[in-house]
């Protein structure tokens, strides 16, 4: 009887440790996935702050989604004056590459279409609402870094067309208005967490 009790105890112990091992393995996989996702988000956005990257992963922001979020400002600024010139097109495609959107991907094809024909007006509105919602979940400093990261590329596109012989502002009034509207999306009226 003692032997049977010992065997049962051993079986129970094995089951306990097997379950613990499974939990540890699952946790390791989750941490590895989070690290890979943070790295991909960093590559897409240019954000290097690990706390912000961790928060974006926790919020379920995927690299694909962030790439799309990063491209919308580029396209909107390019079309602000009603046309996309070759310098702006090149700046956008360079910005897309920096955002992790590779040639041949669905996002790249969509981007090329948006460079031929302006995207629907609802795109900027949807982007603005998404950013405002995201900002409600981010501490102020994280929000500032995300804003700077996304909008600095858009400003480069706006400046790509340049002025006339350096006598005119490098950014048109229409482009500046779009940049300001996008910057306004980061100004949430809802109190933010300060974690």
Q: Tell me the C-alpha distance between 44 and 80, whole Å.
A: 24
Please report the pLDDT score of residue 166 as a whole number: 46
* Residue 44: pLDDT band with limits 50, 70, 90: low
Q: How many domains does the chain have?
A: 1
* Look-up of token digits 């959107």: 101
Could you tell me which of 145, 150, 155, 149 has the C-alpha nearest to residue 179?
Answer: 155
**pLDDT above 70 covers what percent of the chain?**
73
Print the domain residue range for 106.
1-195
Determine the average pLDDT of the residues in 111-125: 83
Q: Tell me the C-alpha distance between 106 and 171, whole Å.
A: 30
The whole model's pTM is what?
Answer: 0.61
* Residue 53: pLDDT band with limits 50, 70, 90: confident
Q: Tell me the C-alpha distance between 81 and 104, whole Å.
A: 28
> Cβ(69)–Cβ(150) under 8 Å?
yes
* Residue 66: pLDDT band with limits 50, 70, 90: confident
């Amino acid at each position: 009887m003692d032997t049977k009790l010992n065997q049962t105890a051993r079986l129970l112990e094995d089951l306990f440790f097997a379950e613990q091992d499974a939990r540890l393995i699952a946790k390791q996989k989750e941490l590895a996935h989070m690290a890979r996702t943070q790295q991909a988000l960093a590559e897409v956005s240019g954000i290097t702050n690990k706390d912000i990257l961790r928060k974006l992963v926790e919020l379920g922001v995927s690299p694909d989604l962030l790439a799309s979020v990063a491209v919308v400002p580029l396209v909107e600024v390019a079309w602000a004056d009603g046309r996309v010139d070759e310098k702006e097109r090149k700046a956008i495609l360079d910005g897309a590459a920096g955002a992790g959107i590779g040639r041949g991907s669905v996002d790249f094809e969509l981007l090329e279409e948006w460079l031929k024909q302006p995207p629907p007006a609802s795109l900027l509105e949807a982007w603005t609402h998404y950013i405002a919602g995201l900002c409600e979940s981010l501490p102020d400093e994280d929000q500032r870094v995300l804003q700077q990261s996304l909008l600095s590329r858009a400003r480069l596109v706006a400046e790509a067309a340049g002025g006339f012989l350096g006598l005119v502002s490098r950014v048109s009034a229409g482009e500046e208005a779009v940049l300001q509207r996008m910057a306004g999306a980061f100004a949430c009226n809802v109190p933010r967490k300060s974690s």
